[in-house]
């Protein structure tokens, strides 16, 4: 099982899309193991986006991400990073396929609704930035056997 960070960005929150996006992750069979609404500080945004520091879009990105509340989630499942990123769609809403979050709800290149970790290393780092120890939960779902085929002794 893999855990990834998902952020519903200020545009998703302001547009009232939180419930519909959360439902997509749950409908897919992914488990929400942490969630909180927050306003990201400039310092936290700088840490989160440090790999983009110095790029032309960096200042605008930090300004956007700190402009309004976001919803931060820890989502767990088999291949959660890849599955979540496919669900998100291409970075720019105008280029994202219908059926993806960005393809269904976005058209802007700047406002792209959602962030998801792009690797296990990034997920570990990002989860550590947004969740304190004990805030990401460990629990078994009663219906887990109906999400993953467990007949071979391990989830498939």
62 vs 148: CA distance, rounded Å = 38
What is the per-residue DSSP string for 84-133?
A: HHHHH-SSSGGGSPTTSHHHHH---SS---EEE-SSHHHHHHHHHHH--T
Residues contacting 82, CB < 8 A, separation 6+: none
Active site residue 48: no
- Which is the catalytic residue, given 48, 52, 53, 115? 115
Element (H, E) at 47: helix 42-48
What is the per-residue DSSP string for 7-41?
A: EE-HHHHHTT-HHHHHHHHHHHT-EEEEEEEE---
Q: Which residues belong to the active site?
A: 115
């Amino acid at each position: 099982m893999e855990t990834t960070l998902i952020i519903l960005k200020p545009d998703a929150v302001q547009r009232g899309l939180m419930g519909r996006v959360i439902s997509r992750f749950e409908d897919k069979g992914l488990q929400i193991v942490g969630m909180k609404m927050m306003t990201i500080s400039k310092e936290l945004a700088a840490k989160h986006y440090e790999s983009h520091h110095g790029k032309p879009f960096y200042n605008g990105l930090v300004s956007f991400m700190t402009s309004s509340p976001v919803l931060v989630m820890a989502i767990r499942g088999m291949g959660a990073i890849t599955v979540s990123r496919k669900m998100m769609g291409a970075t720019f809403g105008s280029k994202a396929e219908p059926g993806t979050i960005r393809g269904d709800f976005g058209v802007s290149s700047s406002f792209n609704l959602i962030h998801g970790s792009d690797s296990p290393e990034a997920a570990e780092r990002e989860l550590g930035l947004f969740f304190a120890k004990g805030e990401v939960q460990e629990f078994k779902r009663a219906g887990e056997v109906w999400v993953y085929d467990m007949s071979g002794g391990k989830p498939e």
